[in-house]
Amino acid sequence: MNRRLLRIFAGILLLLLVALGGGLGWGYAQFTRPGPAVLDRTVVLAKGSSLKNIAERLAAAGVIEQAEVFRIGVRLGGWARGLKAGEFRFPARVSMRGAVDILRQGITVVRRVTIPEGLSSLQVVALLAQTQGLRGDIAAAPAEGTLLPETYHYSHGDERAVLLARMTQAMNDTLAKLWLERDPGLPFTSPDEARILAAIVEKETSLPEERPRIAAVFINRLRRGMRLQSDPTVVYGLTGGAGPLGRALRRDDLDRHTPYNTYRIAGLPPGAIANPGRAAIAAVLHPVVSDELYFVADGTGGHAFATTFALHRRNVARWRRAKAAREKQ
């Protein structure tokens, strides 16, 4: 009787072991086989997410099919404490095991935001407010000209204020380096004065090859004690950097006295009118050598330059004729 019971128990145990082995084999196959996603999937996992939450998020996003199998596999593998939070990209057909490796490595999606040259600080703050994936508010716009325009990388959940601080540091580092390499004899007493003029150059032209030449015109004017007479400074005096003026400048705009109206004030305005890029700063610190004192739009996107007022008047008349001809078309 005892032998018979032992045989029964042994048989039952064997069946259980076979079933367990089959279950483990099935679970391992499910855990390592290609997943259901036919395209890459991006999933954001918040800090403090439980294993259950992670499994459910991956299942809801279509990265995995069986959340329970994922949870069991992670626990059996001893990986539950090693899963990172953040925004992750899972390639198409990634297995559950592959998904675990991605979460353990913690390589999050790298996002990018590009700050164009010539934006005001208010415009930069507005751009960041609309940038997806960032969090937090910016209490106040930084001082004009203190942010370096370029492409910045960030991760989902980064603070807007922290990204803004990186832009400020990038400008400080860039300006300090370029200032040390400047040409001798420039009419600037500080890096900040160079930045102020660089912002004007930035707003005057979008053509990279023109920046050193336009910088030279303004530097020649400063050396001679002439007013800069830059239209973008007038616009900034009227708008405060809130955005475009929305109309052409009028004669009374040029006559209106503001601290930034370089038709009315001598020398540089009290501050920058935009955030200049590295190329504009370099142009101001390494201008071309010329005697030019004037420039005006040439009707093709560039400018016509002149060394005398008489030649400048002819360039202005030519531009007005070209403008009139375009308006008739």
What confidence score (pLDDT) does residue 13 get? 46
Query: CA-CA distance, 157 to 133, in Å (whole number)?
Result: 6
Rounded CA separation 32/104 (Å): 16
Radius of gyration of the chain (CA): 32
Structure confidence at residue 28 (pLDDT): 81
Domains (ranges, CATH) in the chain? Answer: 32-109 (3.30.1490.480), 111-168 (no CATH), 183-328 (no CATH)
User: What mean pLDDT do residues 60-88 have?
Assistant: 93
Whole-angstrom distance, CA of residue 22 vs CA of residue 14: 12
**pLDDT score of 9 more than 70:** no
- Per-residue pLDDT, averaged over 152-181, amounts to 97
The per-residue pLDDT for 242 is 94
Please give the average per-residue pLDDT across 196-206, as a whole number: 97
User: Which tens digit of pLDDT belongs to each residue from 210-229?
Assistant: 999 999 999 999 999 999 99
Q: Which pLDDT band, with edges at 50, 70 and 90, does 30 fall under? A: confident
What percent of the chain stands above pLDDT 90? 83
Q: What is the pLDDT of residues 107-156, one digit of tens each?
A: 899 999 999 999 999 999 999 999 999 999 999 999 999 999 999 999 99
- On the question of pLDDT at 11 being above 70, the answer is no
Where is average pLDDT lowest: 12-16, 64-68, 214-218, 241-245? 12-16
Q: Is the pLDDT of residue 7 over 70?
A: no
- Residue 272 has a CB neighbour count (10 Å cut-off) of 26
What's residue 265's pLDDT? 96
What is residue 322's predicted lDDT score, i.e. its pLDDT? 79
How many Cβ atoms sit within 10 Å of the Cβ of residue 33?
12
Mean pLDDT on 198-205: 97
- Give, in order, the Cα–Cα distances in Å from 147 to each of 27, 116, 305: 54, 11, 30
Helix residue spans in the chain (DSSP H): 2-32, 51-60, 67-77, 96-105, 121-129, 160-180, 191-204, 211-224, 231-239, 251-255, 278-285, 309-328
pLDDT at 301: 83
Residue 183 is given by DSSP the state P
> What's the rounded mean pLDDT across residues 33-49?
93
Each residue's pLDDT tens digit, 230-285: 999 999 999 999 999 999 999 999 999 999 999 999 999 999 999 999 999 999 99
Query: What pLDDT sits at residue 16?
Result: 46
pLDDT of the residue at 2: 61
Helix H or strand E segment including 303: strand 303-306
Please state, in angstroms and rounded to a whole number, the distance separating the CA atoms of residues 80 and 160: 31
